[in-house]
Chains A and B, each alone.
Chain A
Amino acid sequence: GAVVSQHPSWVICKSGTSVKIECRSLDFQATTMFWYRQFPKQSLMLMATSNEGSKATYEQGVEKDKFLINHASLTLSTLTVTSAHPEDSSFYICSARGRYPSTDTQYFGPGTRLTVL
């Protein structure tokens, strides 16, 4: 149980284009989803938190107009990187938390590796 999927697993795009990443909770309802970014050999960095049906809460320094987050249902959240540039190349990971199996635990998706040329 508690499986989170992400799509795509990797994407390569040209500078200036937008990329959408999907995060789905497959066997539980995710009341809260989190989006992280991780650069090589660095720590996880929380970008934003989204509650179903509400606007996302962004961490300091994260541009909300550049990283658009939508949490339209209890099983799906999307992250759109708008006008992507090479410095946005990173490993983007979502995690989800719901009432079951545990209200506390976050379960991570497999991640999406974004490369911007």
Chain B
Amino acid sequence: QKEVEQNSGPLSVPEGAIASLNCTYSDRGSQSFFWYRQYSGKSPELIMSIYSNGDKEDGRFTAQLNKASQYVSLLIRDSQPSDSATYLCAVKDRVGVNYGGATNKLIFGTGTLLAVQP
């Protein structure tokens, strides 16, 4: 059973601080990784994707990938109260087989609830 694990939180950080969200995955051969943000009562929205080891920056967000250690993280700099949400880590299944079909679906973690305190 391929798994993606996240600490459910809540992770509480003060406004302006760096929030660090972590995720580990079980399939060593995974190649594609994603971070989504989900506000309460809303659907997930894509923050960023990462495919290569190292850091990838996009504005206040930095994704970090370490395939050898099988973890991916998301750093949010200068955290704002509007960043308060559940952050979902997702890993693309290399070959997903369900009842005879290959789906290459995303395997989601259970999400980490981030609370940015003003």
Asked if B43 is at the interface (CB within 8 A of a chain A CB), the reply is: yes
Please determine whether A106 and B43 come into contact, CB atoms closer than 8 angstroms. no
- B41 surroundings in chain A (CB, below 8 A): 91
Asked if B29 is at the interface (CB within 8 A of a chain A CB), the reply is: no
Quote the shortest CB–CB distance from B107 to chain A (angstroms): 9
Q: Which residue of A lies closest to B103 (CB)?
A: A49
Please determine whether A49 and B101 come into contact, CB atoms closer than 8 angstroms. yes
Please determine whether A58 and B99 come into contact, CB atoms closer than 8 angstroms. yes
Quote the shortest CB–CB distance from B83 to chain A (angstroms): 19
The count of chain B contact residues (Cβ–Cβ below 8 Å) is: 26
A44 CA / B37 CA spacing, docked (Å): 12
- A43 surroundings in chain B (CB, below 8 A): 108-111
- List B residues 14-54 near A (Cβ within 8 Å): 32, 34, 36, 41-46, 49
Asked if A67 is at the interface (CB within 8 A of a chain B CB), the reply is: no
- A93 surroundings in chain B (CB, below 8 A): 43-44
Asked if A8 is at the interface (CB within 8 A of a chain B CB), the reply is: no
- B69 surroundings in chain A (CB, below 8 A): none
Quote the shortest CB–CB distance from B101 to chain A (angstroms): 3
Choose one: B42, B46, B103, B111; the contact of A107 (CB below 8 Å). B46
A66 CA / B96 CA spacing, docked (Å): 23
Please determine whether A44 and B101 come into contact, CB atoms closer than 8 angstroms. no
- A59 surroundings in chain B (CB, below 8 A): 98
Please determine whether B43 and A110 come into contact, CB atoms closer than 8 angstroms. yes
Q: Beyond A34-B106, A105-B46, list 8 extra A-B contacts (CB 8 Å).
A: A43-B109, A44-B108, A46-B105, A49-B98, A91-B41, A105-B34, A109-B43, A110-B43
Which residues of B approach A to under 8 Å, CB–CB? Answer: 32, 34, 36, 41-46, 49, 88, 90, 92, 96, 98-101, 103-106, 108-111
Identify 25 residue pairs between A and B in the complex whose beta-carbon atoms are under 8 Å apart, listed by A's number.
A32-B104, A44-B44, A44-B108, A46-B105, A49-B103, A57-B98, A57-B99, A57-B100, A57-B101, A58-B98, A58-B99, A60-B98, A91-B41, A93-B43, A102-B49, A104-B32, A105-B49, A106-B34, A106-B46, A106-B106, A107-B46, A108-B36, A108-B46, A109-B43, A110-B43
